[in-house]
Amino acid sequence: MDDVADHEIFGTTANENLGYAGRAAGDINGDGFADFLVGARQSGSAGPGKVLVVTSHRYIMTSPTGGDTWNVGAEETINWSGAEPADLWLSVDGGNSYSLLAEDLGGEQENQARLRVPHQPTRFARLRLTPVADIVGNADSDSLFTIEASIALLNLKAEPIEAGGVLLSWQTDPGPADLAGYRIDRSVGTNQWETVVPLTRETTYQDNNGRAGMRYRLSGINGLGQELLLGETGFGPLAALAAWPLPYRGGMLSVSFLTAGGLGGSAAPTDLSIFDINGRRI
C-alpha cells in the first residue's frame, strides 16, 4: 500500500457532489475488469443528478501511437497512466511474443520513461506494460508502430568556396536529433581515405584544404554506435585541369591537374605553366 492514488475521477461542475454515492457495477464492457458507478446528485442546472460509469484499467498507455516510427539507437519516450510499478516489454511480431526492455518503472498516476531503441527493426512493433507485483492488469500500445534501422540520405553535395576549399552539406532521415552523429572521410589517393571529422551533429562541414578532384564519404552513426555508409560526393567532375576561384581577383589561386604516369606506373615529369591572356608565358 502506498500514498499514490491508482485512479482519480474528476467532476464537470462545482458543487455537484461527485462521489456522494458509489458502488461496483460488475464488468460492464466485458474487458475482464470490474467497473464502478459514481453518483453526483447535484449535477445539472436543475440538480437532477447523474451517474458516471468508470471503467477500470491497471494502465493506459498514451504513447507510442499507431503509425509512429522509432529509429534504432534513438531515445524515445513512453507515456502511461497507472500508479502500479510496471515492467516494459517489446514485441516485434505484432504481439505474439515479447521480450523484456526495462523493469520497475513508474509508480505515479502519470508516468514517463525514456529508453534507447534496440536494434530490432520491424514494422510490427508493440509495447506491453505488466505489473511488477503478482497481480493482474496489462496494457498494450493501441496499435503497431515501426522500428527503423536504416538512415536515408536525402541530399549530399560539395561546393567550391570562393576563398578556397570545399563546403559539404547534407540532409538525412532521421536527422541529427535521432543520431549520435556523422563521420566524414576524404580521399587521399586511389582507394585511400582519411577521416577528417570523426563525429559531428552538424549538417555542414567546411574543408579549407579541399580541392577539385577530392572525394568525400558521409557515414551516419546511430545511438548504439553502429555506422552506416550513406553516400559519396566530390567537388565537381574530375578534370584534367582546373583552377579556382574563377573569375580570379587576386589572392590565392588553386590549380589541380591530371598527369600520365611513366612506364609501369612510375613517376613522370610534369611541366605546369601559366600564360597571360595574350598567350605569353608568365
Q: Which domains does the chain have, with CATH numbers?
A: 1-56 (no CATH), 60-148 (2.60.40.10), 152-235 (2.60.40.10)
Backbone phi, psi, residue 265, to 5° = 80, 10
Centre a 10 Å sphere on the Cβ of residue 250 and count the other Cβ atoms it contains: 5
Task: Note the pTM of the prediction, 2 decimals.
Answer: 0.66
Distance from CA of residue 58 to its chain's centroid?
Answer: 30
C-alpha cell at 82: 497507472
Residue-wise pLDDT for 94-131, tens only, equals 999 999 999 999 999 899 999 999 999 999 999 999 99
SS3 sequence of 28-72: CCCCCCCEEEEEECCCCCCCCCEEEEECCCCCEEEECCCCCEEEC
pLDDT for 83 equals: 87
Rg of the chain's alpha carbons, rounded to an integer? 32
C-alpha cell at 198: 570523426
Asked if the bond preceding 131 is cis, omega within 30° of 0, the reply is no
Residue 186's pLDDT is what? 95
Alpha-carbon distance 23 to 11, whole Å?
17
Distance separating alpha carbons of residues 8 and 20, to the nearest angstrom:
15
Overall average pLDDT of the 229-233 stretch: 93
Please list, in sequence order, all residues whose beta carbon lies within 8 angstroms of the beta carbon of residue 162, skipping any fewer than 6 positions away. Answer: 245
Most confident of 6-15, 49-58, 144-153: 144-153
Q: Rounded mean pLDDT of 240-249?
A: 70
- Tell me the pLDDT of the chain averaged across its residues: 83
Residue in this structure with the C-alpha cell 503509425, named with its chain if needed: 67
For residue range 128-182, list pLDDT tens digits in order.
Answer: 999 999 888 888 998 999 999 999 999 999 988 888 889 999 999 999 999 999 9
For residue 221, the tally of other CB atoms under 10 A from its CB is 20
Task: Note the pLDDT of residue 142.
Answer: 84
Per-residue pLDDT reduced to its tens digit, 30-49:
655 666 677 666 666 666 76
Name the strands in the sheet holding 75-81, side by side, starting at the edge strand that comes first in the sequence.
60-63, 75-81, 110-116
Under 8 Å between Cβ of 28 and 35: yes
Q: Report phi then psi at 176, rounded to 5.
A: -60, -20
**How far apart are the C-alpha atoms of 208 and 197, rounded to whole Å?**
13
